[in-house]
Amino acid sequence: MRALILIGGQGTRLRPFTLETPKPLLPVVNRPFLHYQLEILRRHGVKEAVLCTAYRPDAFKKALGSSSDGVRLQYVQEKIPLGTGGAVRNAEKFIDDTVLILNGDILNTFDITEFLKSHRKAKADVSIALTRVKDPTLYGLVETAQDGRIRRFLEKPSWDEINCNTVNAGAYLFEPTVIQFIPPAVSYSLERGLFPQLLLDDYRLNGFVTGGYWMDIGTVDKYLQVHLDILGGATPFRAGKKSDSKRVHAGAGVSIGRDVSHEGAGEVILGAKTKIGPYARFVGSVCVGADCRVGQGAVLEDCVVLSGTHIGDGAQLRRCVVGHECRIGASSTLGAGRALGDRSVVQRFSQL
C-alpha cells in the first residue's frame, strides 16, 4: 500500500514559524515533524509515500531526499493551491490501488494495519479514521452506525445537536474509483466536498475509531503541546534512545556548566553543540535546538527553543516558543503563550 501525505498548506495558523519553514518540516523534539509520520508508516509496512507539495516544495526535497525513515519518497507539486481534494486528484497517477491519505500536520499514532482490515471488511469506498474528543462543539462531527457506516457529517454543532464525540482524525483510505469524483485542477475539499457528496450518492463510507495519540500541530499552542507530550511520556516516541533512562538528553558536543539542575516531571533534550551556562535551571519539559547558548542562571520551563538561539544570563522562559537564531537579553522574561519568530531580538531586562 502506498501513502499520500498532504503537505501543501502555508501553515498560517503557525506563523511566525512557518514564514520560512513549511509546517511539516518544523522541528519537533529536534526532528522534522514529518519524520514522525514516516516512522509510523514504516512500522506498519508502508514502504512508499508521495508528498503532495505546494508551499516551498524544494525545501522538502532538500530535507528528505528520495527516502527517509526507511520509506521511499516521491513528490508531486501543485501549480496553484488545490486544497485537500485537489491535491489528491493532482497525485492521481500514483493511485492504482487502495491508498492511505494523511494530513501532513497531524501526529496520529493509530494502528494503520487495523484501519486497512476494517476498510476491507466493510468493503468501503472510503474509510475515515476518527478520534474521540472531550468537547465536540469545537469540531465537525462524524456520526456512524453500529456497523461503522458513516451516517452524516455535522459541522461544529451545539450541545443539543450532539449524540457522538467522534471527529475526523485526518487519515483516510481510498479506493481508486472515487478519485474520478474530484474535479481536476481546481481547489476542492475532501471534507466539505467529496465526502458529503459520496454520502448523498450512497457510496460506502466507513468510520474507524482510532486509539493512540492524536494531535493537530497547526497552532503555536499545539506545537508547544506536542513537544511537552513527547518529553512528558504521553506518546510512543522518546526524546533519547530506547534504552536511555536519563531525563536530560544531550546531543554531540553539548557542554553543560556546573550545578545545572532539572526540576519537575518531563525530560530535557539539548541539540548538538549547545552550551549551557552554570547554575541554569530546567523545569518540566524543555527542548533546546542545536548550536544554542543558555546563559548563567537562566531558567527554562516547559518551553521550546529552536537552533542557533542565545539566551542571556538570568533570563526566564516559561511555556513559550522561540524561533531560530534569536537573541534573548540578560534578565529578560518571556511568559506563557509568547512566540518569537526567527532572528528576533529581545533587549535585556525586557518583560514579554
Average pLDDT in the chain: 91
**pLDDT > 60? residue 243:** no
Q: How many CB atoms are closer than 10 A to CB 150?
A: 23
Q: Report how far residue 15's alpha carbon sits from residue 161's, in angstroms, rounded to the nearest whole number.
A: 34
Residue recorded with cell 492521481: 92
- Residue 66 burial (10 A CB sphere; 0-12, 13-18, 19+): exposed
Distance, CA of 125 to CA of 119 (rounded, Å)? 8
Alpha-carbon distance 9 to 83, whole Å?
A: 8
Compute the average pLDDT of residues 261-271: 93
| Closest listed residue to residue 254, CA positions, set 300, 290, 306 | 290
Burial of 279 (0-12, 13-18, 19+ CB in 10 A): middle
Q: Give the tens place of pLDDT for each residue, 16-42.
A: 999 989 999 999 999 999 999 999 999
Q: What DSSP designation does 210 have?
A: -
Cell (9 digits) for 102: 494523511
Residue 276: pLDDT band (50, 70, 90) is very high
What is the percentage of the chain residues whose pLDDT exceeds 70?
96
Q: What is the pLDDT of residue 41?
A: 93
Q: What's the average model confidence in pLDDT over 63-86?
A: 90
Least confident of 66-80, 123-137, 163-177, 240-254: 240-254
Q: Residue 286: pLDDT above 70?
A: yes
Q: What is the mean pLDDT of residues 297-310?
A: 97
Percent of the chain with pLDDT over 90: 68
In the block, cell 534578565 appears at 331
Each residue's pLDDT tens digit, 5-19? 999 888 888 999 999
How much is the average pLDDT of 304-322?
97
Q: What are the structural domains, with CATH classification, of the chain? A: 2-216 (3.90.550.10), 221-346 (2.160.10.10)
Reported as a single tens digit per residue, the pLDDT across 154-207 is 776 666 666 777 888 889 999 999 999 999 999 999 988 999 999 999 999 999
Average confidence (pLDDT) over 269-291: 96
Is a pLDDT exceeding 90 seen at residue 72?
yes
User: What is the model's pLDDT at position 158?
Assistant: 64
Higher-pLDDT residue of 109, 156: 109
Give the residue ranges of DSSP H helices in the chain.
33-43, 57-64, 83-90, 112-122, 195-200, 220-231
Using CA atoms, how far residue 20 sits from 12, 56, 105, 327, 342, in Å, is 11, 8, 16, 18, 9
Backbone torsions φ then ψ of 7, nearest 5 degrees: -130, 30
Question: Which residue in 149, 151, 155, 254 sits closest to 208, CA to CA?
Answer: 149
Q: Say whether pLDDT at 240 is over 70.
A: no
Contact 146, 76 (CB under 8 A): no
CA–CA dist 160, 101 (Å, integer): 33
Mean pLDDT of 282-300: 97
DSSP state of 351: B
Q: What is the pLDDT of residue 69?
A: 80
**Is the predicted pLDDT of residue 46 greater than 90, yes or no?**
yes
Residue 147 in grid coordinates = 456497523
> So what's the pLDDT on residue 161?
65
pLDDT at position 278, please?
Answer: 96
Q: Is the dihedral of CA 244, 249, 253, 259 positive or negative?
A: negative
Q: What is the mean pLDDT of residues 203-212?
A: 91
pLDDT tens-digit series, residues 136-164: 777 778 888 888 899 888 776 666 666 77
* Bond from prior residue into 16 cis (ω within 30 degrees of 0): yes
- The answer to whether 331 and 312 have CB atoms below 8 angstroms apart is yes
Q: Is 80 exceeded by the pLDDT of residue 323?
A: yes
The shares of helix, strand and coil residues in the chain, as percent rounded to the nearest 5, are: 25, 30, 45
Q: Tell me if 11 sits within 8 A of 105, measured CB to CB.
A: yes
Residue among 289, 282, 215 nearest 246 (CA):
282
pLDDT on residue 245: 55
